[in-house]
Amino acid sequence: MAGNIGSKYYDIFLDYRIWLTKRDKGEVLNHYHFVLLEAINRKQSIMLASEELVISYRKAWGMVKEMEEHLGFSLVDTFRGGKEGSRTSLSEDGKRLLEAYITLKEEMDEMFKENVRKFFHKINV
C-alpha cells in the first residue's frame, strides 16, 4: 500500500522489472524466462514446469531454445528415457545464471523497498 486509506495514492504502487538485453537485439531474458528456469530447476522437467506455469510444453521448450540462441550457450541438459524416465535439468551455466538472478533480485527487492518507502513518504504530505 502506498498511502493511508483515503489518500490519493492509496491504490498506486511502484514496481520494477529486471531483464537482460543484448546489444542490437533488445530483450533476451525477462522475469518470466527466469520463472520458467526456476520451475525447470525445481521440477527437473520442462513438461512439469510448463504444466505448473499453465503454458504448453511447446511454448516452454521454444522459450528455452530462444534464450539459448540469444545467450549462445545451453541452459538445460536433457536426459532421455532409461529406468528412471526422461528428465531435464539446468546446465551448470543455467544454474549459475538462475542463482545470480535470484541473488540480484533479492538484493534489489531490499533496496527497492526502502527507496519506495522514501518516495511515497515524500509525496504523501
For each of the domains in the chain, give its residue range(s) and CATH number, in order of start: 20-106 (1.10.10.10)
Can you give the pLDDT at residue 99?
Answer: 97
Q: What is the pLDDT of residue 16?
A: 85
Task: Return the pLDDT at 2.
Answer: 65
pLDDT for position 26: 85
Q: CB-based burial of residue 58 (10 Å sphere; 0-12 exposed, 13-18 middle, 19+ buried)?
A: exposed
Q: Can you give the pLDDT at residue 4?
A: 67
CA distance 10 to 27: 32
Q: Which own/partner pairs from 23-31 qualify as long-range (CB within 8 Å, at least 24 positions apart)?
A: 25/70, 28/67, 28/70, 28/71, 29/67, 29/70, 29/71
Q: 51-79, pLDDT tens digit by residue?
A: 999 999 999 999 999 999 999 999 999 98
Tens digit of each residue's pLDDT, the chain (125 residues): 566 677 777 777 778 889 999 888 888 999 999 999 999 999 999 999 999 999 999 999 999 999 999 999 999 999 887 666 678 999 999 999 999 999 999 999 999 988 888 888 888 77
